Amino acid sequence: MLRDKEIGDTPEVLALKALAHVAGHDDLGPRFLALTGLDSDNLRAQAGEPMMLAAVLDFLAAHEADLISTAAALGTTPERLAAAARALGGWDA
């Protein structure tokens, strides 16, 4: 798998990949929806919004194991996810 920096992912693209991973994960997806109060229609409608993308990365940051496993699944590092979150105005920007 290509690492995100090798294909030049922007913070937005990296966050969208993280969102896709979370949404498709059996445990993370339902937990994210429950914690945010969103339903799948709202999530789809807001998927490209910087605030939503930052919220997904903040959700991952709240549980280190989720952050690490998502970074591994995306072929990136937790540090790159943190940088993407900061660029989008989240994660203690």
pTM: 0.85
Residue 45: how many CB atoms within 10 A of its CB? 12
> What are the extents of the domains in the chain?
9-87
Which tens digit of pLDDT belongs to each residue from 12-39? Answer: 999 999 999 999 999 999 999 999 999 9
**What pLDDT was estimated at residue 2?**
43
C-alpha distance from residue 49 to each of 1, 16, 19, 42 (Å): 27, 10, 11, 11
Which tens digit of pLDDT belongs to each residue from 71-92? Answer: 999 999 999 999 999 999 876 6
- Contact (CB, 8 A) for 61 and 67: yes
48's enclosing H/E stretch is none
